[in-house]
Chain A
Amino acid sequence: MLKSFTKLAVAASLTASLGLAAAPGYADTIKIGDINSYKRLPAHTIPYKNGALLAIEEINKAGGINGNKLELVSRDDQGKPGEAIKIAEELFSRDGVAMISGSLFSHVGLALASYAGQKKRVYLAAEPLADALVWAKGNKYTFRLRPSTWMQASMLAEQAAKNPAKRWATIAPNYAYGKDAVHAFKTVLKSMRPDVEFVTEQWPGLFKIDAGAEVQAIQASKPEAIYNVTFGGDLAKFVREGKLRGLFKGKLTVGLLTGEPEYLDPLKGEAPVGWLVTGYPWYSIKTAAHDKFRNAYQARWNDYPRIGSLVGYNTMLTIAATLKKTKSLKADDLVAAMEGLSVSSPSGDFSLRAIDHQSTMGAYVGTTALKDGKGIMVDWKYLDGAKYLPSDAEVRKMRPAN
């Protein structure tokens, strides 16, 4: 790969010096493998792909990477880890991709991370939230972009600690993400407010919530505040039954990811009001970099960006920055380039930590409100992810040595 790459580069520079270069004039094509659950959860993954493609187009329009064209090879993993592994092998061995990125489900991300570590090939996990990805199961060849479960839950816990509520109830889908999210929130909140107690924990099956029963069960334990981790259809049912039965009246409700357009928008006029949430207020972020991104996205896709779009865009920016930093496409050189890499993005600057390969991309924390029959986030602030990551000593304890 590298050899043919240099050869082509030489050839290209020769043709260029002879003044024969064709209009786009790329020396070579660098391929990036993209694996995601495009059919299992299209509402999340299609905005992701759109964001990623927008970034690729912009990068190529601006001359590509050191004169090389960037190309995304997208594949659907059907939401199955085994399938994702097979596709990864094909992307590397047949398509000759330099690295792979993507995935939304935590278990698919973990499987790909294990593959990357074993085969010594670089994987940039885009959206999976599992903490284990970079900590307990972390490895040298895996990086992760999105702020993880722990980071987002601790941001919320920090805000929630300011509320006088003492009796807390939690509701989370009964699988790893839900458990991690509850564990993180409880740990951080308890450390700041030893006086709080958790009076009930509800664990509906993922996408199988029995909302009426869950609401009644929470009400029966008379909490002063509720921590919600349900999302998607479960969230809609929970919010509807909760409102109908007066669950949220006079209680602080905290919702992990609830403010993300993917989850908030389908609720339309029934979106919860006054919840403390993490999310993505794309409509009211007023920075030049974000304006540019939003306008370009809306022009390109005739749709507004979701959090997936932002993550997809930032993923490609991260890859572009890596490839600009190192000319080599060898896995070890890529890893060396990525450790400590800083990236400027529409959501602000972030870097990839050398210690655990987690990016410091942050999240928006705010309160939900209704505007024109749609849920939005108000009074939000952007919290830098770097402040919600464990110390180096703690990371070393959790993360296996390379």
Chain B
Amino acid sequence: MGFILAQALTGLSNAAALFLVASGLSIIFGVTRIVNFAHGSFYMLGAYIAYTTMSMLPGIIGFWASVAITGVAVGLIGVVVELVVLRQVYKAPELFQLVATFGVILVVQDLALLTWGPEDLIGSRAPGLESVVYIMGEAIPEYDLAIIALTPVVLFAIWYLFNRTRWGILVRAATEDREMVGALGVNQSWLFTGVFFLGSLLAGVGGAIQLPKGGADLLMDFSILSAVFVVVVIGGMGSIPGAFIAALIISELNVFGVQLLHQSTLVLMFVVMALVLIVRPWGLLGKPEKPGQHGQVGELARPIAIMPTRGKWLFAAMLVLLALLPVLDDSFLLVLMADIIIFSLFATSLHFLMGPGGMVSFGHAAYFGGGAYAAALSVKYMGAPMEIAIMIAPLIAGCLAIIIGWFCVRLSGVYLAMLTLAFAQVLWSIVFQWGEVTGGDDGILGIWPSEWASDGVVFYYLVLVVGSAGILLIRHVLHSPFGYGVRAGRDSFVRSEAIGINVKLMQWMAFAFAGALAGLAGGLYVFAKGSIFPDEMEIARSFDALIMVLLGGVKTLSGPFVGASTFTLLQDWLSRFEYWRLVLGSMIILLVILFPQGLVGFARDKFGRLINVRGEDHA
């Protein structure tokens, strides 16, 4: 009995930091509709800044003052990010802000390394609360009890702010209808800035109060990110009480999971998230999105047309150039280009889902990695030759997408995206955990091309042929009746149903198709690298694809290729410098501000007339 109580209290105290960070994210999303990937970075900054202030301000007052100072400091950093970066791109297409927040993550990582050094910092214990009290014979740290008491206070304060103050009421009004609030004379950009301040402040305080239980290190931004997203989604995006309940559920589950299911620690919260979303698609306390309420921001995607002759010549010329590349006799260039082609295929498959399909996937790496693992496993266990393995990859990945898609197409918008993330994480943890079959994180090694393709040049041609065939297939399908059906479903669900299109079926098939092509990319990838590890299924890989698509321009067809090339080349080139993340992050932010339609979108808007008179999207 005492043991259960002690574990429950531990769970409650863990919930505190999680709730603070998650509520910040939830508030920011609820009002600005920005999915702020950089929220983990604010949490990390909170921990570092609090470490510094606590070492300067001793004593009980110093400790709690440090927490407050940290909150304000991180809040102000959030304001700077909002003013300098995000305000420039509110008008950009849906989710484009994601790319900007990704740039912020990179910049903050290097700045934190520069400021606080590489070594982990261990937080000092909270003065006056260093000891334990005994409850039913179990030792409970005093600090745990203090933050358990603190959490409801914060919850109440946020509730009060949003329900009893003029500012909060305006914010809620802006959440409901931005235009109307603006029309009534409220300066909504400052409202947004204020919301960003509050959200970042909460993340900073979350980072500060966990110091006595842990510390500050350079990996904490990503390690909290998935948990925070899970909490926000389970609770319902934008719902503070929901975030509170979800933080409690997740923390308690983790605590008891440790005791009952030792190996479950990685996957438990994602399983819960998937279950909640399947049963309650908008989270526990979230509200269903009204149709059309948060659809595409900015101009609608233009209709797409068959590529004009000039475009086809351009494309053919590029293929010829790529085919002539081996003349240069630079084996590294071939390896780099093979990477770019593979990632282009991967990004194009995601684009099919995001652009024409109108369904954003945060977990596209599931199919990329799924295909790669399918190929690797078929080599390892069935002795399949490379040719067969590369064909198996899209089949298995397509099957995975059929299963995942069946659940996902019931949802829309960010919830759909989060459910894909949950499935990707579940799949990742299966691969990671099931070491006897998948090799766990030691991966599967020695998956090299067949004898005839083992030469670098031959393998490059293989990638070029298969990769460009895949990309052309996706383009071709876009112009097939199926492609038209998918786009019709995106643009108007009701009308499509009315003319007899089964939209959900179309979306489901779009999932399967995009998944299969991503799997093909994964199949090529595993033979290019000779080994496969669970990393290729991780969130970071899904983000890569998102960045590539958005950077190129989600409302363009050649965007994924341009985005994949730009991102891969930038990363390859910049990683030679010591503080490359700082430079890469800044460049991404700059690109986002300069080209809010994506690189190709920008080029089309500026120079589109040159190749295309009707203003339709051939690009």
Contact = CB atoms under 8 A, between A and B. Distances in A.
B120 interface: yes
Contacts of A313: none
B331 to A, nearest CB: 4
Contacts, number: 189
A25 interface: no
21 contacts: A39-B113, A42-B113, A75-B576, A76-B580, A81-B531, A81-B535, A93-B331, A107-B442, A107-B533, A114-B445, A115-B531, A118-B448, A130-B442, A137-B446, A205-B266, A211-B214, A216-B3, A232-B120, A233-B214, A244-B131, A267-B122
Contact of B258 (A41, A113, A204): A204
A82 B336 CA distance: 11
A265 B117 CA distance: 14
A220 B259 contact: yes
Contacts of A204: 258, 265
A268 interface: yes
Nearest to A231: B120
Interface of B: 3, 6-7, 10-11, 13-14, 109, 113, 118-122, 125, 131-132, 138-139, 141, 144, 213-215, 217-220, 223, 254-256, 258-259, 262-263, 265-266, 330-332, 335-336, 339, 432-433, 435, 440-443, 445-446, 448, 454, 525, 528-531, 533, 535-536, 572, 575-576, 578, 580-581
Interface string A174-216: 1110010000000000000000000001111101101111101
A240 B120 contact: no
A58 interface: no
A354 interface: no
Nearest to A91: B332
A208 B525 CA distance: 29
Contact of A236 (B120, B442, B533): B120
Contacts of A210: 10, 14, 254-255, 258, 265
A137 B445 contact: yes
Interface string A50-80: 0000000000000000000000000110101
A337 interface: no
A94 interface: yes
A111 B533 contact: yes
B251 to A, nearest CB: 8
Interface residues of A, number: 65
Select the residue from B119, B132, B220 with max chain A CB neighbours within 10 A.
Answer: B119
Given A80-B535, A111-B533, A75 B575 contact: yes
A305 B220 CA distance: 26
B214 A208 contact: no
A293 B254 CA distance: 46
Nearest to B214: A237
B139 A266 contact: no
Given A86-B335, A89-B332, A94-B332, A216 B6 contact: yes
Given A83-B575, A244-B139, 7 more contacts: A81-B535, A85-B531, A110-B443, A110-B531, A175-B440, A216-B6, A237-B215
B247 to A, nearest CB: 13
Nearest to B9: A212
Contacts of B218: 42
Interface in A212-255: 212-214, 216-217, 220, 232-233, 236-237, 240-241, 244-246
Contact of A201 (B141, B262, B266, B441): B262
A321 interface: no
B277 to A, nearest CB: 22
Interface of A: 38-43, 46, 75-76, 78, 80-83, 85-86, 89-90, 93-94, 106-107, 110-111, 113-115, 117-118, 130, 132, 137, 174-176, 179, 201-205, 207-208, 210-214, 216-217, 220, 232-233, 236-237, 240-241, 244-246, 265-268, 270
A330 to B, nearest CB: 18
Nearest to B6: A216
Select the residue from B13, B109, B441 with max chain A CB neighbours within 10 A.
Answer: B441
A179 B13 contact: no
Q: Which 5 A-B pairs have the closest CB atoms?
A: A42-B118, A212-B10, A213-B255, A43-B118, A114-B445
A312 to B, nearest CB: 15
Contact of A179 (B132, B435, B529): B435
A81 B440 contact: no
A266 B576 contact: no
Contact of A233 (B215, B331, B336): B215
Nearest to B110: A39
Nearest to B219: A207
A85 B533 CA distance: 13
B248 to A, nearest CB: 14
Contacts of A236: 120, 122, 214-215
Contacts of A244: 131-132, 139, 141
A113 B529 CA distance: 12
A18 B118 CA distance: 50
Contacts of B258: 202, 204, 210, 213-214, 217
B54 to A, nearest CB: 14
Contact of B330 (A93, A111, A113, A232): A93
Nearest to B447: A114
A130 B120 CA distance: 24
Contacts of B580: 39, 76
A78 B576 CA distance: 11
